[in-house]
Amino acid sequence: MTAFKAACIQMRSGRDVEANIATAERLVRAAADAGASYALTPEMTNLLERDRAALFTKIACEADDPTLKRLRALARELGIWLHIGSLAIRLGEETVANRGYLITPEGEIAARYDKIHMFDVDLDNGESWRESRTYQPGEISPVVDLPWAKLGMAICYDVRFPQIFRGQAKAGAQVLTVPAAFTRQTGQAHWHVLLRSRAIENGAYVIAAAQGGRHEDRRETFGHSLIVAPWGEVIAEADHDEPGYIMAEIDPAEVDKARTRVPAIANERVFTFQTVAPAQTEPAS
């Protein structure tokens, strides 16, 4: 398999779907002009809206979603693989999917991924999130054949569940993806170390396109889109939270080298857990 250039598109999606589409199109075009043959957009490319009622007035089912239509056409026009990190897609009257799409250079949908792990968290700065109240979690973790490498799909909070990425690596994935809208607080503490850890433990590239900055719904996201090499070094980073793109060369041969140097996947063994209670002793008389 040959090397290719991959791009992360960093955005600050707001409440205006059309404006978000325009930003995504502009940045993807710029990355393609710079030589990217694969581009990843962040989680919730089409819309960031915390108000549940407002969210439902702005989203559509997959067949009618304007962002998906436009970005499929853009991939076809540019002749690139376009990975839409995720869109809010209506499933029914009360449910939504946080769904990623991998689009072929012909504009076809090669794979879909619904975020598996819901961000139900109370942070110590007062932020509270309950994704499970609105979003329906997925159950399938896809690994997709690209012309250059096998790619695993995940979204944001999934990065804290390493079993997904190990499973993808064992299924042959050489590139792991984490489009995200990481909160600023958790991003400052954990973003880099989590992404580098997933790369190191699996001997794989990690590509993570992020939302960044203060959004119209008042949330703040961390930005700092990253591309990490299989040995754990950061090979591209947006060291800010502004919209833009980063790019790096992805060489599957580097995956083989890392997995040969430390064959953690090959050395993995099945084991069981055992809880042991200390033996009780009679009290001294």
5, 115, 131, 254: which one is catalytic? 115
The reply to whether 285 falls in a domain is: no
Please answer whether residues 204 and 174 qualify as being in contact, where contact means their C-beta atoms are separated by less than 8 angstroms.
yes
The reply to whether 233 falls in a domain is: yes
The domain that holds 132 is classified in CATH as 3.60.110.10
Q: What is the pLDDT of residue 120?
A: 75
Number of domains in the chain: 1
Instruction: Give how far the C-alpha of residue 129 lies from the chain's centroid of Cα atoms, to the nearest Å.
Output: 18
The reply to whether 136 falls in a domain is: yes
The reply to whether 277 falls in a domain is: no
Is 282 in the active site?
no
Owning domain of residue 79: 4-267
Is 115 in the active site?
yes
Q: What is the pTM of this model?
A: 0.94
8, 43, 49, 254: which one is catalytic? 43
The reply to whether 280 falls in a domain is: no
The reply to whether 275 falls in a domain is: no
Helix (H, G, I), strand (E, B) or coil at 107: coil
The reply to whether 279 falls in a domain is: no
Q: What is the pLDDT of residue 126?
A: 64
The reply to whether 262 falls in a domain is: yes
Please answer whether residues 48 and 1 qualify as being in contact, where contact means their C-beta atoms are separated by less than 8 angstroms.
no
Neighbour tally for 130: CB within 10 Å:
13
Residue-level pLDDT, tens digit, the chain, 285 residues = 799 999 999 999 999 999 999 999 999 999 999 999 999 999 999 999 989 999 999 999 999 999 999 999 999 999 999 999 999 999 988 899 999 999 999 999 999 999 999 887 777 776 676 788 889 999 999 999 999 999 999 999 999 999 999 999 999 999 999 999 999 999 999 999 999 999 999 999 999 999 999 999 899 999 999 999 999 999 999 999 999 999 999 999 999 999 999 999 999 999 999 999 888 777 766
